[in-house]
Amino acid sequence: MIVFCLIALSCSMGILGDVFLKTALALGSPKFIAGVLCYALTACPVWFALRMETFASISIAWQAISLSLALLVAVLFFKETLSARQIAALAFTVAAIVLLQTESSAVEKSEPVQSGIQNEAKTTWR
pLDDT tens profile 28-41: 999 999 999 999 99
Name which residue leads in pLDDT, 116 or 92.
Answer: 92
Q: Is 31 exposed, middle or buried (0-12, 13-18, 19+ CB in 10 A)?
A: middle
Distance CA 44, CA 25 (A): 28
Lowest mean pLDDT among 7-11, 22-26, 108-112: 108-112
pTM of the model: 0.70
Lowest mean pLDDT among 29-33, 84-88, 119-123: 119-123
Our CA angle for 63, 99, 13, nearest 5°, is 30
Domain count, the chain: 1
| Closest among 105, 109, 104 to 53, alpha carbons compared | 104
Per-residue pLDDT averaged across 101-114, rounded?
57
Q: Which domain holds residue 68?
A: 2-125
Per-residue pLDDT averaged across 15-24, rounded?
95
